Amino acid sequence: MGRILGLLVLGIVALFVFAGDLGGEVVTLRTADTVGVMHDTSVWVVDDGGRLWVRAGSPKAGWYERIQVKPEVELVRGGETRRYTAVPVEGSRERINALMAERYGWADRLIGLVRSRDQAVAIRLDPRS
């Protein structure tokens, strides 16, 4: 029953996120697997001190596992594609969780009810040329 409720809550949040009713921003993060196949993942993004950050819900997220092997990623934001190196930063989880909560408001809190932020991984995106 708990799993069904969790999926329902995530579905509702996804509906609002992808419909653009949050006031937040959803970007596309492109990661490559071990054979070079690109995978697109929709993620939230925050800016902290001129740096972009994304957050993996857990270290077992597929896209996070891919950046562990190949940290070179692309971010599609506002119709523009830019290249970055994804850098997981230990000790930044609480800061990035707080920024995500501030920016995405009730949607972040709602997801937090079904998925603990204790395993989240903060990832800084460093620009590449």
Residue owning tokens 């991984």: 121
Instruction: Report which secondary-structure segment, H or E, holds 7.
Output: helix 2-19
Q: Which DSSP symbol is given to 33? A: -
pLDDT band at 66 (very low <50, low <70, confident <90, very high): very high
* Residue 43, beta-bridge partner list: 27
Structure confidence at residue 116 (pLDDT): 79
Query: Is pTM beyond 0.75 here?
Result: yes
Burial 22-54, CB ≥16 within 10 A → b, else e: bebbebebbbbeeeeeeeebebbbbeeeeebbb
Q: What is the mean predicted confidence (pLDDT) over 51-57? A: 96
Q: What is the mean predicted confidence (pLDDT) over 99-119? A: 85
Domains by residue range for the chain, with CATH: 2-127 (2.30.110.10)
pLDDT band at 5 (very low <50, low <70, confident <90, very high): low
Higher pLDDT, 20 or 66: 66
Distances (CA, A) of 113 to 65, 83, 104: 24, 33, 14
Structure confidence at residue 23 (pLDDT): 52
